[in-house]
Structure 1
């Protein structure tokens, strides 16, 4: 089956139907527990998706990069069960339910795209629920795999500092992990970002096997 990220449908061609919004870094775009009405398309910037634990502590679930949509779970006009926070200055387009209906009149195939997108995001969120039980290396690998495998983006548009902020880790921890991955040929630095050269080595079983060999 063709995934929503392998189709020729480009969200950029539908921006005229949405409302352009600007968010400064660290600004909450939508908050867990508030009523939602529509979804967002990330045009520029970087956003992290978090969920609060019963103790009120934030738990990172995913990273959203330009070209992706977020907040789709509120299209049924229910409350958001996650929060979206801009990591740096961000430009997003908001599409309410009525605007989405107008889009469907122009391109009815969007319904299938949207449905598949929602399904994919639910799988991503379910997988991320237990992220804090993972090691720091596994947490970073999981986030990068979400970008590489789901969205077919292998040049990650994140600096080490941004990745640290998204994952809730120290920059030193992230630096050490990426340095080792570079030596292992998994990543390569390019234009202040980094290219994932061997995403298959970021899978949990591969990381665990490499760790066992190094002990």
Structure 2
């Protein structure tokens, strides 16, 4: 099921908000009172580990939902913060009930989006103790799958925040991949030029 932009028909049921850059929408552990749909902008998703390390685990792009667990009044399991001025729509539990009464497909969209987020968290936790190269490969491949584009727009600082290491470490790994003709690096973009070789890095 295609999730991106599938919520677009229901945006009028939500409360529209214009949010400034570096605004926290919700924090990990905070009791939720609803969920969000990103119409324009970008939102960074972070998670605090049991060891106290904060990791970036995802970036929400326009057309995606976030904070779905909040609609049940459960604690948010991540922190969401805007990285640029953004337009969002907020939906309470009551809003969702109204939508689902009129549009039965809405509940499936919410469920599929939530399942996707839970899988992402499980994947993030499962590779935390692996090598930096392995973790970096998983992050880049995740972005590749998400955007369905071998050219990933992300800087090395953001990648270092993803896996909790230094920018120098990221640089060294990427240069090694470049020498092995796995990726090409230009400006703030990483292009996978050999998908088969790159997939070998995941195992």
**For the structure 1 residues 202 and 72, does the alpha-carbon distance in structure 2 shift closer, same or farther, using more than 3 Å as the test?**
farther
Matches for 1:15-54 after TM superposition, within 5 Å: 15-18=11-14, 19-25=16-22, 27-42=23-38, 43-53=40-50
Out of 106, 117, 120, which is 1:121 matched to?
A: 117
Inter-partner Cα distance in structure 2 for 1:208 and 1:36: 35
Q: Mind listing any 5+ residue stretches in structure 2 that lack a counterpart?
A: none
TM-score by length of 1: 0.75
Q: Which stretches of structure 1, 4 residues or longer, exceed 6 Å deviation after superposition? A: none
Between Structure 1 and Structure 2, how many residues are aligned? 199
Aligned to 2:201: 207
Inter-partner Cα distance in structure 1 for 2:182 and 2:102: 43
Inter-partner Cα distance in structure 1 for 2:56 and 2:107: 25
Inter-partner Cα distance in structure 2 for 1:100 and 1:200: 42
Q: Mind listing any 5+ residue stretches in structure 1 that lack a counterpart?
A: 210-215
Q: CA RMSD in A?
A: 2.9
Inter-partner Cα distance in structure 1 for 2:37 and 2:144: 19
The structural deviation recorded for 1:63 is 1.0
Which stretch shows the higher mean deviation, 100-109 or 65-74? Answer: 100-109
Contact 2:44–2:59 (CA<8 Å) still a contact in 1?
yes
Is 1:152 matched up with 2:148?
A: yes
Aligned to 2:160: 164
Inter-partner Cα distance in structure 1 for 2:10 and 2:178: 39
Matches for 1:1-215 after TM superposition, within 5 Å: 3-5=1-3, 9-18=5-14, 19-25=16-22, 27-42=23-38, 43-53=40-50, 55=51, 57-60=52-55, 62-67=57-62, 68-86=64-82, 88-93=83-88, 94-104=90-100, 107-150=103-146, 152-189=148-185, 192-203=188-199, 206-207=200-201
TM-score by length of 2: 0.78
